[in-house]
Structure 1
């Protein structure tokens, strides 16, 4: 059983995130979770990892991020979570994650949480969610 930090997320969302992260192994998988309004349906949008070192980092391709942004606008959705995996390592918010999510100490996507899945031997074994609180990203407890 995977420890999942947000019990309110639909099982289909959890399954889609886990499936994508496991299928990306041995590279880091990444994507976003979108929602229509505040209580509307959820959608998982896996993205290709365009990082130069995809075994140890993730990055969205600019053209794919633009496409997601345009899709979300057209569907009246908003990004509620960015997700990615850490391969053979813990689901902690790393210094590199922090530098990418909040360069110069300010979050690029205010109000968006970050979900990190720890993938070992091709299986997600632990998931942690982080959110901006005060002046840094902190672990969000269920």
Structure 2
């Protein structure tokens, strides 16, 4: 069983690791976009596996963070994490608050990149559907 101090330390270490995971995720999402545009299915498969692994790690870490916050007596949400930061010693609050804000910014950026990649994939699918339907005489456009 972890003490409150150990749980706090683990929670902060998880945040540092998640920050790094989001940086890796950002790079992979940018690579995924390039590979989508190049239609490089072999490398795309590799990147997609790496993405799924990072998504799982982020999901697991978020669940652990929520559980840690609840165990420490805080709500398992952004407000609870903010309260946790406010209860840290004054000399650590700024650094941990900046870490949390950076983690959130990286998560939002990754979400935008993922949505952008989804649009590329959707457009490619539409093009392929149009090409496959164009072989039918009734669908020819003059």
Q: TM-score under structure 1 normalisation?
A: 0.23
Structure ranking higher in strand proportion? 1
Normalised by the size of structure 2, how large is the TM-score? 0.23
